[in-house]
Amino acid sequence: MYKASVRVTLRSSILDPQGKTTHHALENLGFERVERVRIGKFVEMWIDERTQEDAERMARAACEQLLANPVMEDFEISVEEG
Amino acid sequence: MYKASVRVTLRSSILDPQGKTTHHALENLGFERVERVRIGKFVEMWIDERTQEDAERMARAACEQLLANPVMEDFEISVEEG
């Protein structure tokens, strides 16, 4: 069994209203040294494949077909035994 | 300037309907070897602090005060120059 951890982030050219709102909330709490906030998704998948390469290939296909919007989002995958 | 990357995940005892729905959608697409899916948040913060330790301390305080729900969620922080 492998565990794939996927970070899905908005491309930098795409506005991020959720990140802006969080940034303002942090400023109101006194976190004035936070300059910028971006919010993305973190997806964990447990994959029953025989090799780490197969698990990574499956995770990449899942991102391309479902988890990430190719127009607006980028993704990064890391796979470990688990 | 430092960049803090925060992974906010639901505790394993907490139901994750979004993860369940994503799991079913992946099964319907033919990803039958995916056993389990959990969905969390991925927050990136750019922090104008003098040292990496200060940036990490600020990111941890932001998680405790705003970004994570201490009853339902765990968080992990990594900080790098950026």
Mean pLDDT, chain A cut into blocks of 10 residues (82 residues total): 98 96 98 98 98 98 97 98 90
Closest partner residue to A25 (CB to CB) among B31, B46, B66 is B66
Sheet holding B34-47, edge to edge: A73-81, A2-10, A34-47, B34-47, B2-10, B73-81
Q: Which residues on chain A are in Cβ contact (under 8 Å) with B58? A: 31, 33-34
Chain A residues whose C-beta is within 8 A of a chain B C-beta are 1, 5, 7-9, 22, 25-26, 29, 31, 33-49, 58, 61-62, 65-67
Tell me if A67 and B22 make a contact (CB, 8 A cut-off). Answer: yes
- Separation between Cα atoms, residue A66 and residue B4, nearest integer Å: 27
Q: Domain B2-81 maps to which CATH number in 3.40.50.740, 1.25.40.20, 3.30.1280.10, 3.10.20.30?
A: 3.30.1280.10
The closest of A3, A5, A8 to A66, measured between CA atoms, is A8
**Residue whose pair of structure tokens reads 């795409």 in the numeric block:** A14
Helix (H, G, I), strand (E, B) or coil at B52: helix
Helix (H, G, I), strand (E, B) or coil at A9: strand
Q: Which residues on chain B are in Cβ contact (under 8 Å) with A39? A: 41-44
**Low-confidence residues of chain B, pLDDT below 70?**
none
Q: What is the pLDDT of residue B82?
A: 85
Q: What is the pLDDT of residue A82?
A: 85
Tell me if A31 and B1 make a contact (CB, 8 A cut-off). Answer: no
DSSP A10-64: E-TTS--HHHHHHHHHHHHTT-TTEEEEEEEEEEEEEE--SSHHHHHHHHHHHII
**Domain layout of chain A by residue ranges:** 2-81
Q: How many residues does chain B have?
A: 82
Residue type, B6: V
